[in-house]
């Protein structure tokens, strides 16, 4: 199994659309860091990452509080809290979905 890791991206970077296709998250609650970053989780060698967000604040908050104990190898570095962000643009590479 590939190693998995938490990756952080600046909120300022993911709230501005870039060229190409995007998955857009509207008013989702995100796990955020002290450095104003959002978290994504997934294999270190893969561009496909799982955003650590949900439309329900309770789900994100409850997962974040347990993550360090249940998944010690993927703890939230500098975790601050959950934050609702109006728009987040996550690039989509269609080749990730074609086998």
Within 1-99, where are the H helices?
A: 11-14, 57-70
Is this model's pTM higher than 0.85 or not?
A: no
Question: What DSSP element (H or E) covers 64?
Answer: helix 57-70
Residue 6's pLDDT is 77
Residues 47, 97: contact at Cβ < 8 Å? no
Q: How far apart are CA 43 and CA 95, in angstroms?
A: 17
Sign of CA dihedral 86, 38, 76, 74: positive
More confident residue, 55 or 77: 55
More confident residue, 98 or 24: 24
**For the chain, domain boundaries:** 4-92
Segment 1-59, tens digit of pLDDT = 556 677 888 999 999 988 888 999 999 999 888 889 898 887 766 666 889 899 999 88
Answer left, alpha or beta for residue 35, where phi above 0 means left and psi between -120 and 50 means alpha: alpha
More confident residue, 97 or 9: 9
């Amino acid at each position: 199994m590939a190693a998995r890791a938490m990756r952080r991206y600046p909120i300022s970077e993911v709230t501005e659309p870039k060229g190409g296709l995007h998955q857009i998250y509207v008013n989702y609650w995100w796990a955020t860091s002290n450095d104003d970053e959002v978290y994504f989780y997934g294999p270190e060698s893969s561009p496909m990452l799982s955003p650590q967000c949900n439309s329900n604040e309770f789900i994100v908050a409850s997962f974040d509080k347990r993550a360090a104990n249940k998944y010690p190898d993927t703890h939230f570095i500098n975790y601050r809290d959950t934050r609702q962000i109006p728009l987040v643009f996550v690039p989509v590479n269609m080749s990730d979905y074609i086998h």
